[in-house]
Amino acid sequence: MRILIVDDEPAMHDSYRRSFASVGDGINPALDAMAAELFGASVAALPADPLQSFPLVHALQGMEGVAAVAAAKRDDDPIAVAFIDVRMPPGIDGRETAARIRALDPEIHLVIVTGYSDFAPIEIARVAGPADKLFYIAKPFEVAEVQQMATALVHRWENDRELTAARLTLAAQVVQLQEQGHELAANESRAMHLASHDSLTEAPNRLAFRRALAERARSNVQFAVAMVDLDRFKLVNDTLGHLAGDELIRAMCGVLQRSVPEGGMVARLGGDEFGLLFDTPGQDAAAADCERIAKACATTFKVLGHSVHGGASIGLIATEPGETRDPVDLMRRADLALNDAKRDGRGIVRVFDDGMDETIRLRRTIETGLSGAIARDELSLAYQPIVGRERLEIVGFEALLRWNTDAHGPIGPDVFIPIAEESNLIHEIGDWVLRESLKVLVEWPTQYVSINFSPRQFRRHNFVARLVEEVQRAGVDPTRVQIEITETAIFDDADRAAETLYKLRQMGFRIALDDFGTGYSSLYNIRKFALDCLKIDRSFIDGMGRERESAAIVHSIIHLGRALGLGVVAEGVESDAQLQALRVAGCSHMQGFLFSRPVPKAFARQIAVTRFMTDGSGTLPLLEDDRATSG
Q: Smaller CB distance to Ca ion: residue 378 or 515? A: 515
Minimum distance from residue 232 beta carbon to ligand C2E (Å): 23
Q: Which residues pair with 46 in a beta bridge?
A: none
Which three-class secondary structure state does DSSP give residue 404?
strand
Q: Which does 453 bind (CB under 5 to 8 A by kind): ligand C2E, Ca ion, none?
A: ligand C2E
Minimum distance from residue 383 beta carbon to ligand C2E (Å): 10
Q: Are 315 and 344 in contact (CB under 8 A)?
A: no
Minimum distance from residue 190 beta carbon to ligand C2E (Å): 51
Asked if 592 interacts with ligand C2E (CB under 6 A), we say: yes
7, 198, 515, 542: which one contacts Ca ion (CB under 5 A)? 515
Minimum distance from residue 537 beta carbon to ligand C2E (Å): 7
Return the closest-CA partner of residue 408 out of 362, 375, 361: 362
Residue 395 makes CB contacts below 8 A (sequence gap 6+) with 386, 387, 388, 446, 447, 448, 589
Q: Which stretch binds ligand C2E (CB under 6 A): 201-209, 289-297, 488-496, 572-580?
A: 572-580
Asked if 61 interacts with ligand C2E (CB under 6 A), we say: no
- Angstrom distance (rounded) from CA 186 to CA 193: 10
Q: Which stretch binds ligand C2E (CB under 6 A): 259-267, 322-330, 449-457, 472-480?
A: 449-457
598-617 positions binding ligand C2E, by CB under 6 A? 598
Binding mask 476-515 for ligand C2E (x = CB under 6 A): --------------------------------------xx
Residue 92 sits at the vertex; the CA angle it makes with 90 and 94, to the nearest 5 degrees, is 115
574, 603, 605, 618: which one contacts ligand C2E (CB under 6 A)? 574
406-465 positions binding Ca ion, by CB under 5 A? 452
- C-alpha dist (Å) from residue 248 to 145, 197, 296, 493: 90, 18, 14, 20
Q: Smaller CB distance to ligand C2E: residue 9 or 547? A: 547
Please tell me the count of residues contacting ligand C2E according to CB under 6 A: 23
- Angstrom distance (rounded) from CA 95 to CA 114: 10
- C-alpha dist (Å) from residue 531 to 449, 528, 553, 555, 586: 16, 9, 19, 19, 19
Which three-class secondary structure state does DSSP give residue 555?
helix
Asked if 593 interacts with ligand C2E (CB under 6 A), we say: yes
Q: Smaller CB distance to ligand C2E: residue 319 or 452? A: 452
Over the range 585-617, which residues count as b (16 or more CB within 10 Å of their CB) and which as e? bebbbbbbbbbbbbbbbebbbebbeebbbeeee
Minimum distance from residue 535 beta carbon to ligand C2E (Å): 7
Which three-class secondary structure state does DSSP give residue 195?
helix
Q: Smaller CB distance to ligand C2E: residue 151 or 457? A: 457
- C-alpha dist (Å) from residue 221 to 103, 215, 278: 71, 11, 10
Asked if 416 interacts with ligand C2E (CB under 6 A), we say: no
Q: Which stretch binds ligand C2E (CB under 6 A): 45-53, 83-91, 410-418, 603-611?
A: 410-418
Residue 167 makes CB contacts below 8 A (sequence gap 6+) with none
Q: Smaller CB distance to ligand C2E: residue 331 or 426? A: 426
Return the closest-CA partner of residue 396 out of 584, 248, 255, 533: 533
Asked if 542 interacts with Ca ion (CB under 5 A), we say: no
Q: Smaller CB distance to Ca ion: residue 330 or 426? A: 426
Asked if 384 interacts with ligand C2E (CB under 6 A), we say: yes
Q: What percent of the residues of the chain are helix, what percent strand, and what percent coil, each to the nearest 5?
A: 50, 20, 30
Where along the sequence are the contacts to Ca ion (CB under 5 A)? Answer: 452, 484, 514-515
- Which residues contact ligand C2E (rule: CB under 6 A)? 384, 399-401, 412-414, 417, 433, 452-454, 514-515, 538, 571-574, 591-593, 598
